[in-house]
Structure 1
Amino acid sequence: MGARVLVVEDNQANMDLMNYLLTAFGHQVLCAYDGEAGVAMARSERPDIVLCDLQLPRLDGHGVLAALRADPATKDIPVLAASAASVSDGGAALRREGFTGLLPKSIEPDVLLPSLDAFLPPALRSSFGGEAPAAAEATTAPKARVLVLDPSPMGEGMAAAVLLHHGFQVEVAADTGAVSALGKQVFDLIVVDGPASSSFVGATLVKFAATPVVRKVPQDPAELLQAVRTALQNG
């Protein structure tokens, strides 16, 4: 089923990645780019949980928490502090302040999703790691071997995480060395999750010239899966 997750984050790249990953695994994402907008959206939308950066324009994460806890309509919504800064006390001070918990500011699916799920009731948890592929996908996805070319650190792991979850066999390569390490493996499809103009990507596509390619990864996970299925059928 998934949860309605309000993400309060002023960095566009971080927001895009969080939105992509959470949506891919069944959550509905609400986006706010500053603290005041986050408070207003929490009051109007009543999300199931809030992921709030601590360093925000107009109103920082501590101010967002104070405003939500002071309002009877939002005081019981779980609010997780999301920060890239190291926390020496394991988040104890943040919890004393009123945050429900501390969420690692990570774009790694196996870190972010279980951490979020720990603060959600079972009915609202993501499908990460446990759900079998849908019947319509099971007939083709497990047989398909996909090479994901990911030369951009900002795209790290997003397409691969979605494809792995849906039953594909996935290898990820970020440079020519990683491609060389694959040896003579054969792939059914190549997905370019990053700048297609990269010389590394160009050289790899020449090496696998007979393999169909999805050259631009759609932002929407459902569109990504459809693009992959279409490329496999037409390949």
Structure 2
Amino acid sequence: MSETEIVTIRCLQDNYAYLLRANRKTALIDAPEATPILAELSERGWSLDQILLTHHHNDHIDGVKELVDKTGAKVIGAKADQHRLPDLDVAVSPGDTTDAAGLEAQVIDVSGHTVGHVAFYVAEAGAAFTADSLMAIGCGRLFEGDAAMMWDSLQRLNALPPETLICSGHDYCTSNGAFALSVDENNTALRKRLDAVAAAEQQCAPATLAEERATNPFLRAAALADSVGAANPAEAFAKLRSMKDRF
């Protein structure tokens, strides 16, 4: 396995961008704003080779033009979203693989938050860059897709190895944690995770898929189905997502 490094960069108010370093190359996943990303690259003495985009929302793409102008990085994004993304050098579709810092990145359909949203799973780095699909103790709001679509997307991500690092797009730990406790108050793993984050003993994100499985109410839909009056996990997920929207 190539030596890899993942650097989390806080952008805007609560966005995350990620640098993936391997093979003396660097890939960026999402570009909320250029300034903190350029600063991190400069501090580390890294060039930028690629920018991988998960979806079209401005808080994930607004830094692309400046980054390309200053680094010459190639831009990779979903073919289905090409009409509303910055100019792409490589257009990919779910099921494809693409290059990320010399590593193979699998393209996964995670529609729901938007239609055409993709995640990138880099097995050799042990990480999935999920943006606004599966998030730390939560999942993205359904702006374009529906609950069934997002549920299917979460199942695809939940099939990854449990040690996979879930690199999501925002720090919504406080609000997501409060909601999770409201529907899963007896979850000791959840309380332990939130206590550790509050004490600055760990970051809320990234976190492993195993940790999300134990603490994320949207991955625990089966366990919470009875308590929310749902007949099955998919229905429980839809109810939980609706409850979170009103929380």
- Do they fold alike, i.e. is TM over 0.5? no
Question: TM-score of the superposition, structure 2-length normalised?
Answer: 0.32
Computing the radius of gyration over CA atoms, which structure comes out larger, 1 or 2? 1
Structure richer in strand, relative to its length: 2
Structure richer in helix, relative to its length: 1
If asked which structure has higher relative contact order (CA below 8 Å, sep 6+), I would say: 1
